Amino acid sequence: MSGVNWTGISAIYRFELARFRRTLLTGLLVPVITTTLYFIVFGSAIGSRMSEVDGTPYAAFIVPGLIMLSMFTESIFNASFGIYMPKFTGTIYELQSAPVSAAEAVAAYVGAAATKSLSVGLVIFATAHLFVDVPVAHPLMMFGFMLLIAISFCLFGFILGIWAQSFEQLQIIPMLIIMPMTFLGGAFYSIHMLPEPWRSITLFNPIVYLISGFRWTFFGKGDVAIQFSMAFIAAMLLVCIGVISWMFKTGYRLKK
């Protein structure tokens, strides 16, 4: 495609992946250990008391939630840190003066972060098979859903990285908002198990639609209709793209 600086995109993409390779062992080992601990605590302790959820073995039921929990945090952290560091070191101005458009820079940073996030998600998926047989009703949809989730949350993380003015601010939204919303969004239980009015209140949690849609790709059923899940992902993508476009056009926190 003419007009696209593929060399610039590739350079940024490879630079960001090089940072990931330097911490490859810990970056992949931590999700394996975390997944193992979740299976020990939730799969064994709780699973021994609640064998099935909606006809699905509990140990298998929590796998989509485990993958989403890690992918949410990994996507946000990798993308936000990737763009925040150039701001912190001052090299963001070199990027802005380089022959790379805003769209190309975003594609490179988000592409690298999404690659890392997908790698972690697939490692967790593989680790889960060591503990339980996890059926996948729609394999292509599963991978497509993972890809869309990774891109969406990496775009969101990119926005966070531009907005943040300190390392502490980078942690606020992932730790104090996204993670609690994930735990309350049906990652380890079905929202149909909740009594009213909590079941209806939970539907206002956007994470519910993401986890439910991803779980549908495994078992062919979820807490909400798959159409609502896909619509929410599409809306999130459009909103994030719009916000990033506005940030670059106005120079929001990209210029002194």
Single-letter amino acid, residue 14: R
> In the chain, what are the domain boundaries?
6-250
0.95 exceeded by pTM: no
pLDDT, position 54: 82
pLDDT, position 256: 59
Record the tokens describing residue 245, joined without a space: 């476009």
pLDDT, position 47: 62
- Would you call 52 helix, strand, or coil by DSSP? strand
Listed as ranges, residues in the chain with pLDDT below 50 are: 1
Residue with tokens 């996204």: 178
3-state secondary structure the chain: CCCCCHHHHHHHHHHHHHHHHHCHHHHHHHHHHHHHHHHHHHHHHHCCCCCEECCEEHHHHCHHHHHHHHHHHHHHHHHHHHHHHHHHHCCHHHHHHCCCCHHHHHHHHHHHHHHHHHHHHHHHHHHHCCCCCCCCCCHHHHHHHHHHHHHHHHHHHHHHHHHCCCHHHHHHHHHHHHHHHHHCCCCCCCHHHCCCCHHHHHCCCHHHHHHHHHHHHHHCCCCCCHHHHHHHHHHHHHHHHHHHHHHHHHCCCCCC
Length reported for the chain? 256
pLDDT, position 1: 46
